[in-house]
Amino acid sequence: MQISKWGNSLAVRLPRRLVDELGLKEGDELSIVASRTGEIEVEKDRDQRRRALDGLAKLNWTLPADYRFDRDEANER
């Protein structure tokens, strides 16, 4: 792939095969991560969220019966 200038940013055009494989459409958001092996990994944000939630579910962790979420307390600084 070739890196091109797009405004003040750099852009990479994704090959059609990758677009089809990932089921991408205009407006989708991606996470692109460089691995230690020098490869890059591309994942749709919704797939990343699903993977994270699945990982949490596998922990079989439960909240205490008397737990109550308090939005104001969670956002205190």
Which whole number is the average pLDDT over 35-48?
Answer: 76
Over residues 63-74, the pLDDT tens digits come to: 889 988 888 988
The band of 9, judged by pLDDT with boundaries at 50, 70 and 90, is: very high
Which whole number is the average pLDDT over 13-42?
Answer: 83
pTM of the model: 0.45
End-to-end alpha carbon distance in the chain: 44
Alpha helices (runs of H) in 1-77, residue ranges in sequence order: 16-22, 45-58, 71-74
